[in-house]
Amino acid sequence: MGLPVLHGIAELRRQIGQWREAGDGVGLVPTMGALHAGHLALVRAALGQHPRAVVSIFVNPTQFGPGEDFELYPRQPEADAALLADAGVSALYLPRVEEMYPDGFATQIQVGGPISQVLDAVHRPGHFTAVATVVCKLLMQALPDSAYFGEKDYQQLQLVRRMARDLDLPVAIRAVPTVREADGLALSSRNDYLSDAERATAAMLPRILQDAAVQIGAGAAVDPVLASARARLQRAGIGAIDYLELCDATSLLALRRADRPCRLLAAVRVGRTRLIDNFAVESR
């Protein structure tokens, strides 16, 4: 039997209800498809903690801004389904856009506080409201025991955690560390956009970011480390830096001193491709 593919909310709830009656817990992995080893790490985490894992694939139109890559975003449902079947996933959920956003749809989830005022919130207006709204809907549709998110999208992870806590959603939000290529580049569906030369340049981002995180962790003054990291990025051919900031690990408020749990986050453009990455700062 192939991987069950569910298209509707009623179908999804019926299937999950059957598993629950059999006593099986459920993990949900929300994605936009074009799956890679990063997504599969989330799947493994879900299957490690629950007998059943559902992966959703939904290229959510509302979270792409004007001029962003909604049309271009890679879509490969057959290859994705094959990967998920091999990984032992219990079902693939492919919501229909008309059911997600029926005529008259008018509700948005707006997470307040610094999380939605800094970093990507500045550079992608409306993005996180759209993400919070679609993730809330997916969680309410599936009502899994746990839902899995990658640290790769660190601001999104903190946003989802804040939302789940504030709305008392009965779902545990679980984080999975970033999966990287051998040269350190974080896996991303958007890496497919990079030419060979851009791909080589892109590998400098994690290297420079990690060096800076290590220096800050070792006690170096934050501002000079960030200035030198920005200069290194520019010398590497990454001139378009949307942000490179040290932030509180939970609220994402910018910090000038590493005096609490913190994270270094960056967004840059390599050619026309926007890349994000982040590293924990570990004090030693």
Q: Does 199 bind ligand AMP (CB under 6 A)?
A: no
H or E element in which residue 136 lies: helix 127-142
- Kindly provide the residue ranges of all beta strands, DSSP E only, lying in the chain, ordered along the sequence: 5-6, 26-31, 52-57, 91-93, 146-150, 172-176, 240-248, 262-270, 273-281
Q: What is the Rg, in whole angstroms, of the alpha carbon atoms belonging to the chain?
A: 19
Among 27, 28, 31, 281, binds ligand AMP (CB under 6 A): 31
Among 93, 149, 193, 279, binds ligand AMP (CB under 6 A): 149
3-state class of 26 per DSSP? Answer: strand
Tokens of 38: 């990063």
Q: Does 95 bind ligand AMP (CB under 6 A)?
A: no
Q: Which residues are catalytic?
A: 39
**Closest separation between CB of residue 174 and ligand AMP, Å?**
10
Among 152, 162, 230, 263, binds ligand AMP (CB under 6 A): 152
Q: Does 238 bind ligand AMP (CB under 6 A)?
A: no
Q: Does 188 bind ligand AMP (CB under 6 A)?
A: yes
Among 187, 205, 229, 233, binds ligand AMP (CB under 6 A): 187
Q: Does 178 bind ligand AMP (CB under 6 A)?
A: yes
Q: Does 189 bind ligand AMP (CB under 6 A)?
A: yes
Residue identified by tokens 């000038």 is 256
Burial of 262 (0-12, 13-18, 19+ CB in 10 A): buried
Q: Which of 88, 63, 44 is nearest to 160 (CA)?
A: 63
Among 26, 32, 109, 255, binds ligand AMP (CB under 6 A): 32
Provide the residue count of the chain.
Answer: 284
Q: Does 60 bind ligand AMP (CB under 6 A)?
A: no
Q: Does 42 bind ligand AMP (CB under 6 A)?
A: yes
**Closest separation between CB of residue 148 and ligand AMP, Å?**
7
Q: What is the DSSP letter of 263?
A: E
Q: Which residues bind ligand AMP (CB under 6 A)?
A: 31-32, 38-39, 41-42, 149-150, 152-153, 176, 178-179, 186-189
